[in-house]
Amino acid sequence: MHVIDSHTGGMPTRVILSGGPDLGDGPITDRARRLAQDHPEFCRSVLAQPRGQDGMVGALLVTPADKTCAYGVIFFDAQAVLGMCGHGTIGMAVTMASLDRLNTGEHKIETPVGVVRITLHDANTVTVTNVESRRVAQGKRVEVEGLGTITGDVAFGGNWFFIVEPSPITVCADNIRDLTDVAVAVRSAALAAGLGGENGEPIDHVIFQDPGDTADVHSCNFVLCPDDTYDRSPCGTGSSARLACLAADKRLAPKTEIIQKSVIGSPYKLSYENGAKGGVIPHITGSAFVMADSTLVFSEKDSFSQGCTP
């Protein structure tokens, strides 16, 4: 299996160029469903240890159904197929540029949640114009054992988020273990309370937001991903959901650029435009760097061929 690894603000992406499962033709949503239902062992084997690493997201390239798109891509982590992935889109664009398969300028990429636009500014810098994002519930309360009542917003940015502001624990690198444990508990409470999308879509990510640590930084976040690891980047889909909440609260005007940092300090530049359906069209700018060009080998004799991470 031919893969190229990159990182976006410290968050790894593994682009699968060849050797992935045959998902057939048709709408990319159907192919994403087939990946989730029929090939969970593939997702684990590519991303879990010993072959992968914590936090890594896979980007499986597929033929786009929309012929105006440069590529189709299905993102996944070791535990779940994702609707979209902002850091993964940036990483995928930089990867394809490194192979001379994507030129600087604007392109369209088809994902399971819709077509996103990217602008490749140079070899490492990409702006993602995401699908329309929205807040669907404000000020929802959940009871978390040991913490009491936690209040947050439910929002969509390509995935489903429960956004808590301010964070119950200070967002900083020294607190990552505690932030992770608390976020897992909050997500469990949100799921138990039935929070999610309008059509019953479950919460898959949790965001803890704090103010920026310097005058030029608007805010800092901690983001829990579906596989219970944290996002080293500020999370593109999470930042999209966050922009929807800021817009709904009239705390940020359209086209106003802010800097959002992750728990480890990596930045995205964010802004939005008003969307046609009452939400926002987010713009996320970040940088990625290629780390490895590899061939993954799978042996039938290897008892850990499908991953050894619990």
What is the mean pLDDT for each group of 10 consecutive residues in the chain (310 residues)?
Answer: 98 97 96 97 94 94 97 95 97 98 98 98 98 98 95 98 97 98 98 96 97 95 95 98 98 98 98 97 98 96 84
Q: For the chain, list the domains and their CATH numbers.
A: 2-131+290-295 (3.10.310.10), 134-281 (3.10.310.10)
| Residue of 69, 85, 225, 245 marked active site | 85
The pLDDT value given to residue 308? 85
The pLDDT value given to residue 64? 97
Q: What is the distance, to the nearest Å, from the Cα of residue 265 to the centroid of all Cα atoms in its chain?
A: 17
The pLDDT value given to residue 310? 56
Active site residue 69: no
Active site residue 235: yes
**pTM recorded for the entire structure:** 0.96
Q: Who's near 7: CB < 8 A, 6+ residues apart?
A: 13, 91, 232, 288, 289, 291
The pLDDT value given to residue 309? 61
Using DSSP, state whether 158 is helix, strand or coil. Answer: coil
- Which tens digit of pLDDT belongs to each residue from 178-224? 999 999 999 999 999 999 999 999 999 999 999 998 999 999 999 99
Q: Who's near 245: CB < 8 A, 6+ residues apart?
A: 135, 138, 153, 155, 163
The pLDDT value given to residue 54? 86
| Residue of 43, 69, 225, 235 marked active site | 235
Nearest CA to 105 out of 89, 125, 130 is that of 125
